[in-house]
Structure 1
């Protein structure tokens, strides 16, 4: 069924079309990730080349939904195991956004109601539901196409944050478009050195992530894993939401007590899976942990 037909069944309004487009990105999919640097800012810079991951299998599901918000969870299947991947938090006419500054610092900004009218913000979280980037734009449904595109600043991508020190901000233009077989996430990025209030671009980058639907049976492992672990990550998202609501800025720490966030969260997830903590104890521990890692102190580098 087309998105237009789905929206027509629900009343034919624009909001229904938007929701149908967002949720159409769910399902069992084969994904190809491709990135290549493009135009250098000066002749002394030599582009780093082409990066490609093929034949990854990713399951995308609706983690939560209400009339003005849809949260999509990505789960990567690799070597007969499941890895919690990134999270997309779509909010309708959202005025409060987290804008990335630099060096693991995000600042809350407020957009005018008139500016976000009819728009959806997409907040992207990392594997521990830590902040990554957020932008707001209108879903466009025209000439048989369904797409959304917004610009935002972000920390270094995971494929580079341990290997690159020559830039500290990735200015992203994210384009999500529905296709006949799934969707594409196209990126036109700039790698930026940000210091003392000024930006210097070192090189451009093109990204293309292609999602093609495959048999749902190939994602059965991910579906079972999510049923066992989704309660834990619901508590994590609620704890992060509380921090976002109370803080005007977030400074993500590299380590606390010499432990990175992913190791601490992995241990907590295992305890939750083995039911070693009560619901109240788990929620308190998660909230305390995230408050420690997002404490507004000296800026630290991306872990």
Structure 2
């Protein structure tokens, strides 16, 4: 009789476990659905400033063709490398996004090319996926953690986090130093959408952040035939080995430090210029020597 009484409880526990697995699988599928060949439209417009005298910047528009390659496919970690295709012939290694399940180690941008390595509790990230975004040389850009939502036929993930200036403004503006990014990643029938509600902020040590202006942004990823990105697929197959080593060296940097601060240039060259020049046979020692030169 006692065994019969336990059956409903066992069934409930089994059902809860299956539902949890199904939710995680939905998360994994949503993330991996961002892979493939995409035509992208970038649209940004400044919207509101607390300073009535502020003159809003011109709206920004651009487009690109990009291949998103699945480079890590584990139960608790999914990595996607983005590659730009220029004029159907040239390939440029672009940004990377790593998604980690219930990840307790994040990096938070402070200012002046400096990131804190932040550790959170298990409860804070239960059921969540962190998104870590890296620059073209696999150095850090921003990270945050949130829950993937699957409801009413919608699949999305959203969070807010501090980040450096976007590349479209990095070399053109010095009137703010932090982009507080409101990121929303949503899967669509045409592909996926990266919607942004951003605050351009002036951060001064010891003072409250000052909002310069807010911005609305849309990165619209429309899926096209993989054939359009075949040159990127071929390029990555030929060149990916060295970047596996680069990623591993960056993982060590974050494991060894509580703060990561990078120099802008060494001997007149940026970090990506050194790393882009490496061949597949470059050693881990070669790579770490280069990275160490940029670490403050």
User: What is the TM-score of this pair, normalised by structure 1?
Assistant: 0.89
Distance in 1 (alpha carbons) for counterparts of 2:20 and 2:197: 35
> Do the aligned partners of 1:193 and 1:201 also contact (CA within 8 Å) in 2?
yes
User: Could you tell me which of 23, 37, 40 is aligned with 1:28?
Assistant: 37
Q: CA deviation at 1:21?
A: 0.2
User: Could you tell me which of 183, 204, 208 is aligned with 1:195?
Assistant: 204
1:43-192 superposed matches below 5 A: 43-54=52-63, 56-79=64-87, 80-192=89-201
The two structures, once aligned, show a CA RMSD in angstroms of 1.5
> Do the aligned partners of 1:190 and 1:202 also contact (CA within 8 Å) in 2?
yes
User: Could you tell me which of 256, 279, 283 is aligned with 2:266?
Assistant: 256
> Do the aligned partners of 1:74 and 1:84 also contact (CA within 8 Å) in 2?
yes
Distance in 2 (alpha carbons) for counterparts of 1:128 and 1:51: 25
Q: CA deviation at 1:12?
A: 6.2
1:224-270 Cα deviation digits (max 9, x unpaired): 001011111111100000001101001011112332112111222xx
1:174-230 Cα deviation digits (max 9, x unpaired): 000000110000000000000023210100011100011111110100000010111
Larger Rg: 2
Q: CA deviation at 1:11?
A: 9.5
User: Which residue does the alignment assign to 2:245?
Assistant: 235
Q: Structure 2 regions of 5+ residues with no counterpart?
A: 1-18
User: What is the TM-score of this pair, normalised by structure 2?
Assistant: 0.91
1:72-128 Cα deviation digits (max 9, x unpaired): 010110122011111001000011110000111100111121110000000000110
Distance in 2 (alpha carbons) for counterparts of 1:12 and 1:136: 19
How many residue pairs get aligned? The number is 277
**SS of the counterpart of 2:40?**
strand
Q: Structure 1 regions of 5+ residues with no counterpart?
A: 1-9, 297-303
1:273-288 superposed matches below 5 A: 273=280, 275=281, 277=282, 282-288=283-289
User: Which residue does the alignment assign to 1:6?
Assistant: none
Distance in 2 (alpha carbons) for counterparts of 1:73 and 1:140: 23
- Whether 1:220 and 2:221 are equivalent positions in the alignment is no
Moved over 3 A (4+): none
User: Which residue does the alignment assign to 1:292?
Assistant: 293
